């Protein structure tokens, strides 16, 4: 992308702890994204307050006011485009995107999904990993395509599931990993180190054969 800080919009629906990680890492100088706007589809999302506290324009477009998914997505994009974002970060944005939206920002939307994709797309990932008796669990930053949780993976953070662990504690640990890997992955995309081409993730001109895997033994 460009040498100046990449204009980045963050879409949320809830707490926004990942948004906070981006805000904090920009403030600390460990990433250099320009978080130009935050959008929520839920007026009560706490992440809107986090954005306001950081002086970032925060807007809510309430999805319940629209008849179709695409109508809502077009309204979000109309707001978003006022800020001319180069990168769209989905951070707990609990809406399935229409093909129109995905094409509008083709190759420029990232999501974080709390599982080691392609394992466990969809919901309740932590409980599903525990119920399956998995030894490890993790979280994945991926490009967004029209297939839900199915776009090319960029980075994965992985940890051991502890014996007898509950879904609640696992979720907490996974979120702490997310806060470390998501801003870094976004920066790699902003810097052009990782690119979306021909439906795949590319690194250094070659297709990424597997996501970059980071183990977190101490989380």
- Catalytic residue numbers read 113
Question: 137, 115 in Cβ contact below 8 A?
Answer: yes
Q: Which of 78, 96 has the CB closer to ligand GRF?
A: 96
Q: Does 91 bind ligand GRF (CB under 6 A)?
A: yes
Q: Select from 85, 92, 157, 211 the one that contacts ligand GRF (CB under 6 A).
A: 92
Q: What is the DSSP string of 107-154?
A: T-EEEEESS-TTS--SS-HHHHHHHTT-SEEEEEEEE--SSTT-SPEE
Q: Does 112 bind ligand GRF (CB under 6 A)?
A: yes
Q: How far is the CB of 194 from ligand GRF (least distance, A)?
A: 19
Q: Does 15 bind ligand GRF (CB under 6 A)?
A: yes
Query: Whole-angstrom Cα distance, residue 5 to residue 204?
Result: 20
Q: How far is the CB of 201 from ligand GRF (least distance, A)?
A: 19
Q: Select from 1, 5, 14, 150 the one that contacts ligand GRF (CB under 6 A).
A: 14
**Which H/E stretch holds residue 196?**
strand 194-197
Query: Whole-angstrom Cα distance, residue 187 to residue 32?
Result: 7
Q: Does 121 bind ligand GRF (CB under 6 A)?
A: no
Query: For 55, which DSSP code?
Result: T
Q: How far is the CB of 134 from ligand GRF (least distance, A)?
A: 17
Q: Which of 1, 219 has the CB closer to ligand GRF?
A: 219
Beta bridge partners of 37: 9
Interface positions with ligand GRF (CB under 6 A):
12, 14-18, 91-92, 112-114, 139, 175, 178
């Amino acid at each position: 992308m460009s040498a100046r800080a990449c204009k980045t919009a963050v879409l949320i629906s809830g707490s926004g702890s990942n948004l906070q990680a981006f805000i904090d890492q920009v403030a600390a100088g460990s990433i250099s994204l320009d978080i130009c706007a935050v959008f929520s589809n839920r007026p009560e999302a706490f992440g809107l307050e986090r954005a306001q506290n950081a002086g970032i324009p925060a807007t809510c477009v309430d999805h319940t006011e629209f008849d179709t998914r695409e109508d809502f997505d077009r309204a979000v994009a109309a707001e978003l485009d006022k800020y001319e974002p180069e990168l769209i970060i989905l951070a707990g944005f609990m809406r399935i995107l229409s093909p129109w939206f995905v094409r509008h920002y083709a190759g420029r939307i990232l999501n974080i999904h709390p599982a080691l994709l392609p394992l466990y797309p969809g919901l309740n990932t932590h409980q599903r990993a525990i119920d399956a008796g998995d030894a490890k669990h993790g979280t994945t930053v991926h490009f967004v395509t029209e297939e839900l949780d199915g776009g090319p993976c960029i980075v994965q953070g992985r940890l051991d599931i502890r014996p007898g662990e509950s879904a609640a504690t696992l979720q907490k640990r996974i979120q702490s990993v997310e806060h470390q890997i998501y801003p870094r992955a976004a920066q790699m995309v902003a810097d052009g180190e990782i690119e979306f081409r021909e439906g795949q993730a590319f690194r250094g001109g070659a297709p990424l054969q597997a996501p970059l895997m980071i183990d977190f033994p101490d989380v």
